[in-house]
Structure 1
Amino acid sequence: MSMRDIFHGGGEGKPLNLPALKFKKGLLVLLALLVFSTVFFPAFAKFYTDWLWFDARGFSAVFWKQVLPQWGLFLAASIGAFIILTTSWLLARKDAASLDIEGITPIPTKRSGVIVVIVAFLISIMNGLGVKSQWDVVLRFLNKALFSSSDPIFGKNIAFYVFDLPFYSLLQDWLVGILITALLGSTLIFVLAWIPQMREQSHFSLPQKARRHLSVLGALCVASWGAGFWLERFNLLFSPQGVVFGAGYTDIHARLLGINVMFALSMIVAILLLVNIMRRTWKLAAVALVLLVASNIVIRGVYPGIVQKYVVEPNEYQKEAPYIQYNIESTLKAYGLDSLKTVDFLPANSVTWEQIQKEKETINNIRLWDYRPLLRTYKQLQEIRSYYDFNDIDIDRYNLGGSYRQVMLSARELDLQQLQNPTWVNMHLEFTHGYGVVMNPVTEIDPEGKPVFFIKDLPPRISVPLEIERPQIYYGEKVQPYVLVKTKIKEFDYPMGGANVRTTYEGTGGVAIGSIWRRLAFAVRFRDSQILFTDAILPESRIMFYRSIGERVRKVAPFLLYDNDPYLTIMDGKLVWVQDAYTATNLYPYSEPVSTPAGRINYIRNSVKVTVDAYNGEMNFYIADTEDPLVKSWAKIFPTLFKPMDEAPASFRKHIRYPKGLFLIQSEIFRTYHMKDTNTFYNKEDVWELPKSGKAGSLNAYYVIMKLAGEERAEFMLIAPFTPVGRDNMIAWIAGRSDGDNYGELLVYQFPKQKLIYGPTQVEALIDQDPEISAQLSLWSQRGSDVIRGNLLVIPTGDSLLYVQPLYLRAENSDLPELKRVIVSSGGRVAWGERLEEALTNLLGPAPDKGIQKAKPSIVTQKREPDGSLLEGKSPEVLAQEAKIAFEAAKEAAQKGDWAAYGSRLKELEEVLTELLQRLSETESNKIE
């Protein structure tokens, strides 16, 4: 059979007859059963059991609101594509079959029409499947919410870029793809029909019907492609090619012009192709297409390059300044930094006992337990059995007996990989849940250097006014296999002596699995026939799956981004997980993007707080930011999913906190975008960075309880210091507030640039140079102990800064760290002690109202200040370090033209060098003696 026979029948005008393929009926039935059992039934089982899961959690409407739009979009895209393709190709087939070719009688066959329809159907299905995943784009377009600002170039509300533009781009991409496919298919049909004519005739001309058909399709293709230029105008506001993210001078004055010209030319070419229907030549259309391609190269490639090189680059700042300003303003708004408060902060030279006594809540909540050694301690002291595990350490605060305390805690979850006998019964019926939590205050240490526990052991022993009614943990951070509860098999609850305590689940978690049909569906879903054949299942039995916090929340609301650190709380006698969720987009004009595990974004809000009950798995999605347009849109789409924060229990609102994921993103942005002056920003004169802690890695953000200046009470907040890029001194610190009406407020305390404030790296250097500390650390290491230095914390205390670093020892053959020393520093002095109070006494002398005997101090005790007061006790090494710091500060002041600061730094350098020479002279005299 030749290709022409598809359109003209058999040779010599005879109808085409193909031999029928014969299949045995039994083989067809077997093949159908095989496809059903391996493809359709497993897919149906997963779909059905997912619906059961959503329905059991009260989210049935959420399930169907995600499923139905997907398949609705699939059908709309598929049907639309099928209509366009079949209409175009059947018309082309009809025109091709009517071509007057000498010696061949055109006999259209039914088989050719069937082939066209089948091919169109398959392509349409694939097209629909490709578009189906964009259901959220359509729903957000239909349920948009306005932003409070507009873009500075076109004056459109930001909602146009976030909600409308993605939908228009999706529609345009779909239409261009389908029309090009229709054009290529129609061209192929005509080519197959023309093959005999091209072989038998020396002259070939395109018939009028074919010209008309291809001209219309070509015009539609060019017009829909040209519509993309109209959309591309707005995409210029996301250009990465300028000095900053967003459209720059060249984009607005050259590329935008080129895009507008291309849009106009594409419409002209589309019109010329339609005019070509009446002409017998393709010359005009061909010339127009060539002009379109050439214009695209010249106007969009060459011309912008010329403007950039000869107009912008010689005058870059003057040309780009307005667009830098747009970028700064948009970025601050997009990351919620436009309302950030900046406070000038001039710290005192050193912390005093008076400040410490005024800031008792801050001092009593300084975190001496670092996450890493504390997690090892938990594992060694409180796992109890090998099949328990602590996944990570969470930090929170509680009012305990009238005292506001910062605590660290962790859930004791199951680690089924450590089961000695991992049978099906053990994995899915008996070992179903973890048990209890461990909690300790951040500051207290027992005489052996171990944490003092508020909650410990099995069953939980609690020494503070907290209650846990349901210590069982069926839902946690670890990914766990499915389990069956309320069965004939009693569940393992917790070990006690030589026996085990057993229990039967009494909650509403999981999905009912009593019927044979549900058992069959779950057996297929999990590919586990034991579910079907076990006799342990009762009519009231339930199956639990999607048991990790991350799995659960992402299954219900996959359109949100989630913080990577859900934390455990004790609320009203229940163990409840709190998961911070974010709304984000990468479509905020002029806003600088950042990279996240979920991709690049340039707008983010912590709009949703999710709670997950550790016993029942119950989930609540609370709207935390009612002003966020993205969450407003999602709330319109899923009205039954979200709840206002006012409906949250008061006990929950006491435990919400500023999320670290958002805080770190905002800190990363603010380190550059605190420079609001365009000239300063352009020259990158004052870029900051989060400091490094040399002995313990990056100094990450950390939670503290402290009292801000002007406030009456201490509060829970997240803070982090900043240092200038390439420098070690501290320049500012940022705080995210978490308590009460202050939740979500960002503050930045900025230090004066003319005053040297020690940064973490410099304090680390002072610690390393302390002879007593250095000698003791070396001695411990020589004895085989592993010295673990915790993160160096910068604690604002009144109008001073206090640096605190815990020091742990771990024996060579043990994995149990013990807190052996606490190092403190303030005003350039360093001291340590076995406890925080002792270290402070060594640093400051005896507390005036307690008469505490001063412990043996570190050798490094005082520093020399720029006022000329002689503070003795520095070693030559430390003085040399201070001289270097003062010299670098003087150079920086000279570069900035700050001559007052320059003179102050030179005076400080002179004093330090004088003291250094005196010390060196004394050392030489001692040697001679």
Structure 2
Amino acid sequence: MTGNARRGATVLRILAALVIAIVILHIVLDRLFAYRLHQALGYGAVYGKMMVFELLTRYIGAVVIALLAYAQFRLFRSLMPKSVAKVAAFAASFLGYIVGYGLFSLDPTPWLAAFHHQVFHRTDPLLHVDLSFYVYVLPVINEMVGRILFLYIVSILLHALYLVVLWAFQGRITKDTDLPKRIGRVAKRLMWMMGLVFVAFAAIAFIGRYNAMLSTGNSSFVSGPDFVMAKLDIGVFTWVHVVLLLLVAFAFFWLAVRPNRMYEVVDGFVRFQSRWFIRPIQAFGTFVGAWILTAIIGALTNSLYVHPNQNRVELPYIKDSIDSTRWAINIEHVKTKPFQGADTLTTSELNKDANAVANVRVNDQDQTKAVYNQLQSFKSYFDFQDVSVDRYQQQEVYVSARQMNQSQLPVPTWINKTLVYTHGYGVAISPVNDVTQNGLPNLIASDTPQVTQPPVPALKQPQIYFGTMQGTVIAPSKEAEFDYPSGSSDATSHYQGGDGLPVKGNRLLLALETGSLKYFTSDQLTDKSEYLFDRDVYQRIHDIAPFLRVDQDAFPFVDPGTGHVMWMVDAYTETANIPYADTYMGTRYIRNSVKVVMDAYTGATKFYVVDKTDPLLKTYMSIYPSLFTSQIPQDVRAHFRYPNDLFKAQSQALTRYHMTDPSAFYNQEDLWSLAHQIYQQNQTQTRAPVYQMIRMPGEQKPAFVLSELYTPVNKDNLNGWLVADNGPAHYGELRLYQFPQSSLVFGPMQVENQIDANPNISQQLSLWNQQGSHVVRGDLLLVPIGDALVYVEPIYLVANRENSLPQLQMVIVDFQQKVYSGDSLADALQNVVKGLSVDTGVGLGNNSVTSDTGNAGTTNGNGTTPSTTPSSTGGGNQTPAGGAATSGSLAQSAQQWLQKYKEDTAKGNFSQAGQDLAQLGDVLNKLAATQAKGNTSKSGK
């Protein structure tokens, strides 16, 4: 080797070593930074296990493939000059490393689960294998077989290419007297490799029996193998394919052990004998012919036997689909109850269900979000991103967090975005049924500084550093952090610390990862400064537990223990590998087994176990024992909500899978549809599930439930009502109330049509739509009162101007196919009790918002504002000095009882509120009688 060549080789080695050192240093620093971040979150052990597995498989796999690539290159080394061979060897190894890095970038959890999994104790109905094999083992087998087979086929192609090159150029390589033997050795090795690859194909065909169990079926009535696939494809044809593939492999092995029959050497040249390759070709042709023949037999069986007898031969597989789907989507234990509503509604029943009536949603969820952003954001960079439904004690409320939207900062400098405007502030909460005199939500948690009223706990730490916000910040620092505007100055605070990464000791890592030297040059940072990252709760959960599916409906609540705002998120375990299960939410099995709670101030995140029976969660708990906790504080459990997305999927599944008889399912005899409603500005849409605090039929107390309504397909009458219990005692329990099919029960669209067809209401709505405003319709709610069912729909009025506020104008109640209305729900229900429908002209256009005395205030969904409360000596039953109750005195008494009802409800004294409502009913009855008597006297005149 010349001096220049040696120097070039040395430079090449130095460059290679430098590249390797840089890569290793980058990997170490990057992983160290990620590990320290997860340590700050409190889950370093969880990430450490995933990181070790990922590093070992990815880099060891890459090195192994690089070595294999170098070994394959050695075949061609003798065909090129040495100087070129070295460069080519390096290129081949580098290419092998890149391929190996990509092939073995494995998701750690599925592979760890394959070796730590818990059995399901449930087998598939055809092969009788525990479902854990399909969920954990089969995916790993498929992945590994696919990777190995890919590499093996590449090796075969390289050997074949090398053999062709040697054979084609053997006339030019006359100096190599050992060439015929070399060609013979390569040909023999290639035959062995071809035989082995067909053995692998036979194994894949065998594994295909289990993969076939995960087929989607005919997408009509069987979600999995049907008669032909179960009896023929899996039962017979698979074995035929396995045997024939092994026969092809044997044919290649036969050539490998008798290489002298493959070729002969004539005058020093290798000549292959094509006739000896006929047997492998014949064997492979037999396999292809058998594959075509089995496909034809299956198609003929399906068309000539199965289709004419489908309603009989497919029944066992339909039954398997029903059972597997109901179990997988978790609707197999739905409690079905018949129900037929009463045709009367009395004052005593209203009084008995005062608690439930007091929580009927007359405020619409979407409209409430608009109100919060208009009245409670205060600054353009404060934002209420969403409004959620929750409850405190027995009061249903809307809740939203006032978060920081840094994209709206007027001066978005690094100082402002990172050190000053670091957090949101406080929450807005309003009862779903309570409106002010202007028809707007009555806030019981609001303003800056934060103000709360019972039953909302006092908010001791209103700052919100974590939620659904993006971006990273540093806190505390020497800069005061903005809380909220206060007169001519700003209220500020300094972060007290939480689950952030300390800047001290991590400046180098932060500078390298963020590409900024500010962590060294800024004099605003202190020894207590923390790098607050993953401030979006969804991103934080994904970083800690990427194997969990996260629901996108995080909601805040106030924890009475800490006085902090907390975020609750539903997390799911899921798998698509359940035989015979239908697909919902993009998967075949799903459980809401985990509730994730994150502190909005500190960022501390807890993963609470809510379904200990879930086999998937058991496996994850065995892999990551430090991640989950089963000790759930009562204050947290009190805010559990059944997830909306899961309930939607279960509701959709029940439109078909409430039918458990295979024959009925095949004929689709009782197919249901999710109910529709008219919403917003007369848009017809599928009615979304609704959270409600109501007393369900047959129950003694109100419960916080999530509900959905069903109608028959292409019909609008009501035939089903699904509810999910959110209470701690029966959390997650599903109940399906079925209505009689022999009598008509109005469904939501029939009620909507009846409302629109009523000339009085139609005229009123048209009038409002013509006065520089437009009407917005809220959700149509089904509410049980006593043994009766009533529909409630709030009507709002919005001015045709930008940023106008929706105001409640009317509440419509439909009962027993008659329409009633009032300025408030209480008014409308009293009209129901008195039988005063809108056809009598009652309840239309009486939208007064002040009392006769002119006092202004808030109401409990009733639209009036009394100035006094009933006295202890009689209250609303007081009469004037003359002894006879006049209309004026009765109206004043009614106002007084109404105000007392509101106050008792706000205090959570629902038993007393029920008595108040009873007194109010008595006064209203007397008032009606007095007015009727007066009308009679006038007509007599």
Q: Secondary structure at the match of 1:740?
A: coil
Question: Post-superposition shift, 1:136?
Answer: 2.3
Q: Counterpart of 1:312?
A: 306
Gaps of 5+ in 2: 262-275, 846-941
Q: Counterpart of 1:894?
A: none
Give the partner amino acid of 2:307.
Answer: E
Q: Counterpart of 2:49?
A: 65
Aligned length: 811
User: Would the aligned equivalents of 2:66 and 2:92 in 1 still touch at CA under 8 Å?
Assistant: no
* Distance in 1 of aligned mates of 2:86 and 2:518: 51
Residue of structure 1 aligned with 2:488, choices 483, 488, 498:
498
Q: Counterpart of 1:770?
A: 758
1:665 aligns with 2:644: no
Instruction: Spell out, residue by residue over 1:183-211, the C-alpha distance to the aligned partner (whole angstroms, 9 max, x if none).
Output: 1111122222222126799x999943122
* Distance in 2 of aligned mates of 1:505 and 1:17: 68
User: Would the aligned equivalents of 1:350 and 1:801 in 2 still touch at CA under 8 Å?
Assistant: no
Question: Post-superposition shift, 1:169?
Answer: 1.2
Q: How do 1:69-88 and structure 2 match up within 5 A? A: 69-75=53-59, 77-78=61-62, 81=65
User: Would the aligned equivalents of 1:842 and 1:858 in 2 still touch at CA under 8 Å?
Assistant: no
TM-score by length of 2: 0.82
Give the partner amino acid of 1:72.
Answer: L
Instruction: Spell out, residue by residue over 1:113-156, the C-alpha distance to the aligned partner (whole angstroms, 9 max, x if none).
Output: 88457525633541342232333221110111111311110111
Gaps of 5+ in 1: 1-15, 98-105, 848-853, 860-929
Residue of structure 1 aligned with 2:478, choices 461, 470, 488:
488
Q: Secondary structure at the match of 1:686?
A: coil
1:827 aligns with 2:800: no
Q: Counterpart of 1:278?
A: 257
Residue of structure 2 aligned with 1:260, choices 221, 236, 239:
239
1:77–1:352: structure 2 CA closer, same or farther, 3 Å change rule?
farther
Q: Counterpart of 1:144?
A: 117
Q: Counterpart of 1:13?
A: none
1:660–1:18: structure 2 CA closer, same or farther, 3 Å change rule?
farther
Of 442-451 and 275-284, deviating more is 275-284
Question: Post-superposition shift, 1:405?
Answer: 0.6
Q: Counterpart of 1:428?
A: 418
Instruction: Spell out, residue by residue over 1:326-368, the C-alpha distance to the aligned partner (whole angstroms, 9 max, x if none).
Output: 0000111111111111111112235443332222221111111
Q: Secondary structure at the match of 2:526?
A: coil
Residue of structure 1 aligned with 2:210, choices 234, 249, 252:
234
| Root-mean-square deviation (Å) | 2.9
User: Would the aligned equivalents of 1:85 and 1:178 in 2 still touch at CA under 8 Å?
Assistant: no
Residue of structure 1 aligned with 2:432, choices 427, 432, 442:
442
User: Would the aligned equivalents of 1:89 and 1:182 in 2 still touch at CA under 8 Å?
Assistant: no
User: Would the aligned equivalents of 1:42 and 1:525 in 2 still touch at CA under 8 Å?
Assistant: no
Question: Post-superposition shift, 1:240?
Answer: 2.5
Q: How do 1:802-881 and structure 2 match up within 5 A? A: 802-813=790-801, 814-845=803-834, 856-857=842-843
Q: Secondary structure at the match of 1:601?
A: coil
Give the partner amino acid of 1:475.
Answer: F
Of 107-116 and 830-839, deviating more is 107-116
* Distance in 2 of aligned mates of 1:108 and 1:812: 83
Residue of structure 1 aligned with 2:604, choices 618, 623, 646:
618
User: Would the aligned equivalents of 1:407 and 1:442 in 2 still touch at CA under 8 Å?
Assistant: yes
Residue of structure 2 aligned with 1:545, choices 517, 528, 533:
533
Question: Post-superposition shift, 1:846?
Answer: 8.0
Residue of structure 2 aligned with 1:476, choices 467, 489, 497:
467
1:296 aligns with 2:291: yes
Residue of structure 2 aligned with 1:51, choices 35, 38, 41:
35
* Distance in 2 of aligned mates of 1:798 and 1:462: 33
Q: Secondary structure at the match of 2:206?
A: helix
TM-score by length of 1: 0.83
* Distance in 1 of aligned mates of 2:698 and 2:375: 42
Q: Secondary structure at the match of 2:783?
A: strand
1:405–1:589: structure 2 CA closer, same or farther, 3 Å change rule?
same
1:160–1:350: structure 2 CA closer, same or farther, 3 Å change rule?
farther
Q: Secondary structure at the match of 2:655?
A: helix
User: Would the aligned equivalents of 2:163 and 2:183 in 1 still touch at CA under 8 Å?
Assistant: no
Q: Counterpart of 1:602?
A: 588
Question: Post-superposition shift, 1:181?
Answer: 1.2
* Distance in 2 of aligned mates of 1:41 and 1:670: 55
* Distance in 2 of aligned mates of 1:367 and 1:745: 23
Q: Counterpart of 1:921?
A: none
1:471–1:855: structure 2 CA closer, same or farther, 3 Å change rule?
farther
* Distance in 1 of aligned mates of 2:60 and 2:180: 41
Residue of structure 1 aligned with 2:224, choices 246, 250, 264:
246
Question: Post-superposition shift, 1:25?
Answer: 10
1:632–1:378: structure 2 CA closer, same or farther, 3 Å change rule?
same
Q: Counterpart of 2:619?
A: 633
User: Would the aligned equivalents of 2:64 and 2:100 in 1 still touch at CA under 8 Å?
Assistant: no
Q: Secondary structure at the match of 1:782?
A: coil
Instruction: Spell out, residue by residue over 1:407-427, the C-alpha distance to the aligned partner (whole angstroms, 9 max, x if none).
Output: 111100011122111111111
Give the partner amino acid of 2:42.
Answer: G
Of 702-711 and 484-493, deviating more is 702-711
Q: Secondary structure at the match of 1:186?
A: helix
What percentage of residue pairs aligned between the two structures are identical?
31
1:270–1:490: structure 2 CA closer, same or farther, 3 Å change rule?
same
Q: Counterpart of 2:854?
A: none
* Distance in 1 of aligned mates of 2:86 and 2:5: 18
Question: Post-superposition shift, 1:110?
Answer: 9.1
Question: Post-superposition shift, 1:84?
Answer: 5.7
1:194–1:346: structure 2 CA closer, same or farther, 3 Å change rule?
same
* Distance in 1 of aligned mates of 2:80 and 2:446: 88
Question: Post-superposition shift, 1:482?
Answer: 1.0
* Distance in 1 of aligned mates of 2:90 and 2:66: 8
Give the partner amino acid of 2:305.
Answer: V
Q: How do 1:699-778 and structure 2 match up within 5 A? A: 699-778=687-766
User: Would the aligned equivalents of 1:831 and 1:858 in 2 still touch at CA under 8 Å?
Assistant: no
Question: Post-superposition shift, 1:839?
Answer: 1.2
1:32–1:474: structure 2 CA closer, same or farther, 3 Å change rule?
farther
Q: Counterpart of 2:669?
A: 685
User: Would the aligned equivalents of 1:219 and 1:274 in 2 still touch at CA under 8 Å?
Assistant: yes
Q: Counterpart of 2:770?
A: 782
Residue of structure 2 aligned with 1:343, choices 337, 341, 363:
337
1:109–1:30: structure 2 CA closer, same or farther, 3 Å change rule?
closer
Of 327-336 and 305-314, deviating more is 305-314
Q: Counterpart of 1:332?
A: 326
Residue of structure 1 aligned with 2:556, choices 556, 560, 568:
568
1:785–1:545: structure 2 CA closer, same or farther, 3 Å change rule?
same
Q: Secondary structure at the match of 1:831?
A: strand
* Distance in 1 of aligned mates of 2:80 and 2:376: 86
* Distance in 1 of aligned mates of 2:778 and 2:80: 87
Give the partner amino acid of 2:55.
Answer: W
Q: Counterpart of 2:265?
A: none
* Distance in 2 of aligned mates of 1:582 and 1:198: 67
1:179–1:419: structure 2 CA closer, same or farther, 3 Å change rule?
same
Q: How do 1:79-478 and structure 2 match up within 5 A? A: 81=65, 90=74, 112=85, 115=88, 119=92, 122-123=95-96, 125-197=98-170, 207-242=183-218, 243-256=221-234, 257-279=236-258, 280=261, 281-299=276-294, 301-399=295-393, 404-465=394-455, 466-478=457-469
Q: Secondary structure at the match of 1:64?
A: helix
* Distance in 1 of aligned mates of 2:417 and 2:637: 37
Of 652-661 and 325-334, deviating more is 652-661
Question: Post-superposition shift, 1:603?
Answer: 0.4
* Distance in 2 of aligned mates of 1:666 and 1:673: 9
User: Would the aligned equivalents of 1:172 and 1:227 in 2 still touch at CA under 8 Å?
Assistant: no
Instruction: Spell out, residue by residue over 1:254-309, the C-alpha distance to the aligned partner (whole angstroms, 9 max, x if none).
Output: 2222222111211222222112113313222222222223333332x322212211
* Distance in 2 of aligned mates of 1:117 and 1:258: 47
Q: Counterpart of 1:5?
A: none
Question: Post-superposition shift, 1:559?
Answer: 0.5
Instruction: Spell out, residue by residue over 1:205-264, the C-alpha distance to the aligned partner (whole angstroms, 9 max, x if none).
Output: 994312210011111111112211111101222222434110000101222222221112
1:585 aligns with 2:580: no
* Distance in 1 of aligned mates of 2:59 and 2:786: 65
1:200–1:532: structure 2 CA closer, same or farther, 3 Å change rule?
closer
* Distance in 2 of aligned mates of 1:352 and 1:333: 42
* Distance in 1 of aligned mates of 2:131 and 2:3: 61
1:651 aligns with 2:635: yes
